[in-house]
Structure 1
Amino acid sequence: MRRLAACAALFAAFAATPAAAQMVPSTCIAIAESLPRASYVAMDGPAAQRYAAIDGDVTITYVTHATYRIESPNGVVAATDFAGFAGETTPDIVTMNKAHSSHNTPYPDPAIPHVLLGWNPEGGPAEHALTVDDMYVRNVPTDIRSYGGMEADGNSIFIFEVAGLCIGHLGHLHHTLTNEDYARIGRLDILMVPVDGGMTMSQEGMGEIADRLRSSIVLPMHRFAGPIERFLDRMPGFAVERRDTPSLTISVRTLPRTPTVIVLKGV
């Protein structure tokens, strides 16, 4: 019954997604075969193209603060919470969130083809479903604190689907996630999580989200000056690996068997 209820939540979330966002189906959201009138998403067109590169490697590089650079097997480059700098390469895709200027820039380089805002300047939730070659980017809106209250849909969790991997960036998340949020997110193999413990959520709260998602890899970010051990201590179910390089090269086949927090150089 619990499994059926979870599948029902996933199906309901997918069905409620605007039609424009369903044009390219997510490969990270499962639809149960046993649900009435449910059917599997057809793996053709752009979805099949993303899986065609499943043998390829994805390179993830920590740049600064909440910015990670994600490079697909076909050379598509995305930068998260882009504030004007993502390394030497001009990204093909940048995502932004509005909480602070360190998560966005009003003047992105005109050479960047795709600039995805995590909020909608005209009001309501931002809605993104973008395919560039072998990378698909979608978002799940969340709320942010604003002037002592909460502003609906002011942040987005961006999800990058590439080479069979589901990579999620929590952005400037300010609250616990609902069952509907988890359903819309789906599976995340790699999770980028803010660990400051104050400007976003408590470290305990972020640890609970990471634990529920059970991603194979958790990549900390948004740390400020506090020792990383404060966050690691709240992740007892995860192994810890520290790298002396800011980059990680990973594929579906090389995901760790034990859920692991990987602390890249510079975090």
Structure 2
Amino acid sequence: MKPQYLVLAIAFVAPASAGAQEQRTPVSQCQAIAQNTPKATFASFSGAAPLTPAVSEGEDVKLTFLGHSTFEIETPGGIVIATDYNGWYRPATLPDVVTMNKAHTSHFTLTPDPGIKHVLHGWSDVPGEKADIDLVIGDAYIRNVPTDIRFSYGLGGSQENGNSIFIFEIAGLCIGHLGHLHYELTDAHYIEIGRLDVVMVPVDGGLTMGADSMSRVIKRLRSSLILPMHRRGPPVEAFVSMFGKDFDVANAPDDSITVSMRTLPKKPLIYVMKGLQ
């Protein structure tokens, strides 16, 4: 039976100072707690209004597949975000925000264009610490959920919190980019993530996780729109074959899709962008 979810709503008390807005932690509209999760604690606090993204007049979010694991996300308010930005795959206009992961050099660059206002690393440069992203810019709220990674190139071992799942909350949508996900998610991860209406998922079949393991993650997330990415080697059909009649599959005519809360598919849809076919 599919677990029922309750929305976790937390408002933080802001200090009464000129810089109060910058000091407050934004509140996610997408996080949820499963009722049957062991030791889960429901929280509700009152106080000053939470820090939230600006409300834009539009509701459409445009996602464009640029290559490998880089998507351009354009908000209704005109904020441009590039995921797993490596400097090779670039939006037509300079992005306001770029996110990065470091499993391989194809997912980050240490020399981004200096004109990019926000460069968000999915790892911490301080040993033993987690990356902690809570950014409100325009009509977007960006946060992260750290995950462990394997060391690259057969060195063995793993690194705790070496990368991040990035979550973009825009126009009511919860959009997730799984990055270079190496291990199946735990209950704690799913709680931190909450609801994902749209998810970008690597389908390489081994460099991240095998198709069977990755499909279990996607089935648990139960997102309305699933956008495959990061295909190296096996055809995308190897990933798609893991899903049954509860999921629809479609090949996109081009490399972008515009979506809103009103236009989300009623049934989970695996939507394969043209550049990945």
Q: Is the TM-score greater than 0.5? A: yes
Which amino acid in structure 1 is aligned with residue 101 of structure 2? N
Question: Counterpart of 1:121?
Answer: 125
**Pairing partner for 2:85 from 78, 82, 99:** 82
Task: Say whether the 8 Å CA contact 2:86–2:109 is kept in structure 1.
Answer: yes
Q: How many residues of Structure 1 are paired with residues of Structure 2 in the alignment?
A: 254
1:100-159, Cα deviation, whole Å (9 max, x unpaired)? 110001100000000000001112110000010100100000000013011001010000
Question: Counterpart of 1:30?
Answer: 32
In the superposition, relative to structure 1, how do residues 89 and 43 fare at CA in structure 2: closer, same or farther (>3 Å)?
Answer: farther
SS of 1:252's partner is coil
Instruction: Pick 1 or 2: higher relative contact order, CA cutoff 8 A, min separation 6.
Output: 1
Distance in 1, matches of 2:210 and 2:134, equals 30
**Pairing partner for 2:258 from 249, 252, 259:** 249
Distance in 1, matches of 2:254 and 2:209, equals 27
Shift of 1:39: 2.2
Distance in 2, matches of 1:42 and 1:244, equals 48
Distance in 2, matches of 1:188 and 1:159, equals 8
**Is 1:144 matched up with 2:152?**
no
Taking only aligned residues, the RMSD between alpha carbons, in angstroms, comes to: 2.7
How is 1:195-234 mapped onto 2 (pairs within 5 angstroms)? 195-234=203-242
Unaligned segments of structure 1, at least 5 residues = none
**Pairing partner for 1:177 from 170, 179, 185:** 185
How does the TM-score come out when normalised to structure 2?
0.84
SS of 2:32's partner is coil
In the superposition, relative to structure 1, how do residues 114 and 204 fare at CA in structure 2: closer, same or farther (>3 Å)?
Answer: same
Question: Counterpart of 1:110?
Answer: 114
**Pairing partner for 1:191 from 179, 199, 205:** 199
Task: Say whether the 8 Å CA contact 1:83–1:105 is kept in structure 2.
Answer: yes
In the superposition, relative to structure 1, how do residues 144 and 41 fare at CA in structure 2: closer, same or farther (>3 Å)?
Answer: farther
Distance in 1, matches of 2:44 and 2:204, equals 42
**Is 1:240 matched up with 2:245?**
no
In the superposition, relative to structure 1, how do residues 43 and 211 fare at CA in structure 2: closer, same or farther (>3 Å)?
Answer: farther
Unaligned segments of structure 2, at least 5 residues = 12-21
How does the TM-score come out when normalised to structure 1?
0.87
Percent identical among aligned pairs is 48
Which amino acid in structure 2 is aligned with residue 30 of structure 1? A
Shift of 1:47: 2.1
Provide runs of 4+ in structure 1 moved above 4 Å: 40-46
**Is 1:69 matched up with 2:72?**
yes
In the superposition, relative to structure 1, how do residues 32 and 224 fare at CA in structure 2: closer, same or farther (>3 Å)?
Answer: closer
SS of 1:62's partner is strand
Task: Say whether the 8 Å CA contact 2:53–2:137 is kept in structure 1.
Answer: no
How is 1:34-73 mapped onto 2 (pairs within 5 angstroms)? 38-39=43-44, 44=49, 46-47=51-52, 49=54, 52-53=55-56, 55-73=58-76
Which amino acid in structure 1 is aligned with residue 149 of structure 2? I
**Is 1:161 matched up with 2:165?**
no
Distance in 1, matches of 2:257 and 2:107, equals 22
